[in-house]
C-alpha cells in the first residue's frame, strides 16, 4: 500500500515536472536580460511597450465578449437539446466538433470569402465589423470545449424535472434559464470559460489573417525580433490567465455558498 502511494507520488511529480521545469527555465531566461545578473528588465521593457498594453487589452476584451456570447449561445442550445430535442444530440455534437477537424486557417479563409467587403454581409468592411467576425471565429474555435463542458454539467442535474418544477411554480422561460438552470451548470460554464479565455489569448491565425491587433500576433512579432521579452511575455500571460481562473473560482464558490437571508 505504502509503495503504491510512493509510486503514485513519483508519477505525479514526474508529470508535474514536465510542465513546471520548462516554465521555470522560461522564467529564469526572462530574468537574464542584464548581463551577469538577474533582473526584471525584460518585464519592464514589455510593460513599457504601448503595443503590449493595446494588444493584451484587445485580447482580454475579445475573450470576455467571446465568453459572454459563447455562454448565451451554448447554454440555451445544450439546455433545449437535452429538454426537447434529445434525438438531435448526436447531430449537435457533430457540429460542435467541426472546429476541431477543420483547421483555423481554412475557417478564416472561408470567412474572408463569405464576409469580405463586397459580400452581402461585409463584416470585413470596417474595423468593428472585423472585430465582430473575429469574436464569432473565437466562439467557433471554443465551441467544442464550451459545449462539452456545459453539456457535461447539465448531465449532473435533472433538467426536465427542474424545468417542470419551475413551470409549475409559475416561472417563465427566462426565469427558468437564468435562475434554475444556469446557476446549476456554472461549473461547466466556468470550465468552458477558462478554455475559451486561453484560446482567445493565444490564438494567432484568426487575428493575424483578419489583421486585428490581438495578443497572439504581437507575441509572434516580439518572438521573431527579440530575445528576452518573449519569455517574459509568456510568463505574464500565464500569470494573468491563472489569476483570472482563480478569480472565477473564487466568485463561483462564493456565490454558491452564500446563505439566504430569511
Partner 1 sequence: MSFLELAGIQKSFGPVQVVHDFDMTIEKGEFVSFLGPSGCGKTTVLRMIAGFETPSGGTIKINGKNQESLKPNQRNIGMVFQAYALFPNMTVHDNVAFGLKIAGMNKAAVDARVKEMLGLIHLGHLADRFPYQMSGGQQQRVALARALAPKPQVLLLDEPLSALDAKIRVSLREEIRMIQQQLGITTVFVTHDQEEALSISDRIVVMNSGRADQIGTPFDIYNKPATRFVASFVGTLNLIEATVVDPASNRISIGDQAITLREPLGPVKAGDTVSLALRPEAGSIAESAKGDTALTGQVVSSNFLGSVIRTRMKVGDPVISFDMFNAPGLSPPAVGDVVTLRFTASDLLIIRE
Residues that bind partner 1 (CB under 8 A): 157-158, 161-162, 164-172, 175, 179-180, 183-184, 186, 256, 259-260, 262
User: In this complex, which beta carbon is closest to partner 1, that of residue 28 or of residue 164?
Assistant: 164
Q: How far apart are CA 5 and CA 13, in angstroms?
A: 12
Give residues with Cβ within 8 angstroms of 207, minimum separation 6. 134, 213, 214, 216, 217
Dist. CA 84–CA 63, nearest whole Å? 31
Q: Tell me the C-alpha distance between 75 and 222, whole Å.
A: 37
Of the two residues 176 and 235, which places its CB atom closer to partner 1 in the complex? 176
- Whether 124 contacts 112, CB under 8 Å: yes
Q: What is the DSSP letter of 178?
A: I
Q: Give me the least distance between CB of 68 and partner 1, in Å please.
A: 20
Of 36 and 262, CB closest to partner 1: 262
Identify the H or E element spanning 1: none
In terms of CB distance, is 224 or 258 closer to partner 1?
Answer: 258
For partner 1, the closer CB: 4 or 260: 260
Minimum gap (Å) between residue 168 Cβ and partner 1:
4
Name the residue nearer to partner 1 (CB basis): 53 or 155.
155
Q: Which three cell numbers stand for residue 191?
A: 470550465
Rounded to a whole number of angstroms, the minimum distance from the CB of residue 161 to partner 1 is 4
CA nearest to 157, candidates 236, 66, 251, 82:
82
Q: Which three cell numbers stand for residue 173?
A: 422561460
Shortest separation between residue 71's beta carbon and partner 1, angstroms? 16
d(CA 237, CA 56) in angstroms, rounded, equals: 9
CB of 76 to partner 1, least distance (A): 18
Work out how close the CB of 150 gets to partner 1 at its nearest, in angstroms, rounded to a whole number: 15
Amino acid at each position: 500500500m505504502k509503495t503504491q502511494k510512493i509510486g503514485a507520488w513519483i508519477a505525479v511529480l514526474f508529470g508535474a515536472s514536465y510542465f513546471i521545469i520548462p516554465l521555470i527555465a522560461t522564467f529564469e531566461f526572462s530574468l537574464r536580460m542584464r548581463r551577469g545578473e538577474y533582473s526584471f528588465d525584460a518585464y519592464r521593457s514589455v510593460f513599457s511597450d504601448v503595443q503590449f498594453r493595446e494588444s493584451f487589452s484587445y485580447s482580454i476584451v475579445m475573450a470576455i465578449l467571446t465568453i459572454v456570447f459563447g455562454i448565451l449561445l451554448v447554454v440555451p442550445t445544450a439546455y433545449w437539446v437535452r429538454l426537447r430535442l434529445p434525438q438531435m444530440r448526436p447531430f449537435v455534437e457533430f457540429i460542435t466538433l467541426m472546429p476541431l477537424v477543420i483547421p483555423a486557417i481554412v475557417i478564416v479563409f472561408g470567412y474572408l470569402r463569405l464576409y469580405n467587403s463586397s459580400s452581402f454581409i461585409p463584416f470585413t468592411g470596417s474595423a468593428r465589423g472585423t472585430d465582430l467576425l473575429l469574436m464569432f471565429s473565437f466562439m467557433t474555435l471554443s465551441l467544442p470545449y464550451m459545449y462539452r463542458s456545459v453539456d457535461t454539467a447539465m448531465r449532473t442535474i435533472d433538467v426536465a424535472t427542474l424545468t417542470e418544477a419551475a413551470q409549475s411554480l409559475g416561472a417563465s422561460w427566462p426565469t427558468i434559464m437564468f435562475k434554475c438552470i444556469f446557476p446549476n451548470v456554472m461549473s461547466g460554464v466556468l470550465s468552458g470559460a477558462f478554455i475559451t479565455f486561453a484560446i482567445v489569448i493565444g490564438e494567432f491565425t484568426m487575428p493575424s489573417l483578419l489583421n486585428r491587433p490581438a495578443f497572439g500576433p504581437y507575441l509572434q512579432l516580439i518572438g521573431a525580433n527579440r530575445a528576452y521579452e518573449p519569455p517574459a511575455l509568456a510568463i505574464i500571460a500565464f500569470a494573468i490567465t491563472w489569476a483570472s481562473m482563480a478569480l472565477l473560482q473564487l466568485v463561483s464558490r462564493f456565490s454558491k455558498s452564500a446563505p439566504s437571508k430569511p
